[in-house]
């Protein structure tokens, strides 16, 4: 049974309230997709503390708060799937995105470490690192910016949200039971590891 619920992942009290509501209704989430992400681009020399803090709270600290709230139920169920959505920027960096790159590379390390801790409980933790996907974050680009990006991608295409969704579905399934601690690049060949 799937259930969609809203919360502010950058606010630990919001996370606690949501998982309290789930607990009261005897719901135990066993599949968790951490997909919240924001960017606040600025050259490092000009970056304000607030720009750093907001991005890290939403993109990285939220993993701690949400996974901490969800993991106990998964451990009791002795089954769980955690899929974190990072970014190719966390692997290759990008000028003007020191905060974003730090948060997304932190997600990759977080996933690997948590995977090692919970694997014996039949819980997998994996990360997807999308490249440039046609979303609200990329729709603001000019046509020349979009063309320049496509020129760097071997496939010559920006990805679709469905490309990332298919990877999530796979990693959340029993078919991926023997995959944990991995980072799956969904980026048309922009970054190959």
SS3 186: strand
Partner residues linked to 46 by β-bridges: none
Task: Determine the pLDDT at residue 27.
Answer: 86
Q: Which residues in the chain show pLDDT less than 50?
A: none
Q: Helix, strand or coil for residue 15?
A: helix
pLDDT tens, residue by residue, 56-98? 999 999 999 999 999 999 999 999 999 999 999 999 999 999 9
Q: 24 Cβ partners below 8 Å, 6+ apart?
A: none
> Catalytic residues, which ones?
100
Q: Give a three-class secondary structure readout of 122-181.
A: CEEEEEEEECCECCHHHHCCCHHHHHHHHHHCCCCCCECHHHHHHHHHHHCCHHHCCCCC
Quick one: which of 84, 114, 87, 109 has its CA closest to 100?
87
The CATH fold assigned to 12-186 is Rossmann fold (3.40.50)
Say what the pLDDT of residue 137 is.
73
CA-wise closest residue to 82 among 14, 37, 128, 120 = 128
pLDDT of residue 26: 86
């Amino acid at each position: 049974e799937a259930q969609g619920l809203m919360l502010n992942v950058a606010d630990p009290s919001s996370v606690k309230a949501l998982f309290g509501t789930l607990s009261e209704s005897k719901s135990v989430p066993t599949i968790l997709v951490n997909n919240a992400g924001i960017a606040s681009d600025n050259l490092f020399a000009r970056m304000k503390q607030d720009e750093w803090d907001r991005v890290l709270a939403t993109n990285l600290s939220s993993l701690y708060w949400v996974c901490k709230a969800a993991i106990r139920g998964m451990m009791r169920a002795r089954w769980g799937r955690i899929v974190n959505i990072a970014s190719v920027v966390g692997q290759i960096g990008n000028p003007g995105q020191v905060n974003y790159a730090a948060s997304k590379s932190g997600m990759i390390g977080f996933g690997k470490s948590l995977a090692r801790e919970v694997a014996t409980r039949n819980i997998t933790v994996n990360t997807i690192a999308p490249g440039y996907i046609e979303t609200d974050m990329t729709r603001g680009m000019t046509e020349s910016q979009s063309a320049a990006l496509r020129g760097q991608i071997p496939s010559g295409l920006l990805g679709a949200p469905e490309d990332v969704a298919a990877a999530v579905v796979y990693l959340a399934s029993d078919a991926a039971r023997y995959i944990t601690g991995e980072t799956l690049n969904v980026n048309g060949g922009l970054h190959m590891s």
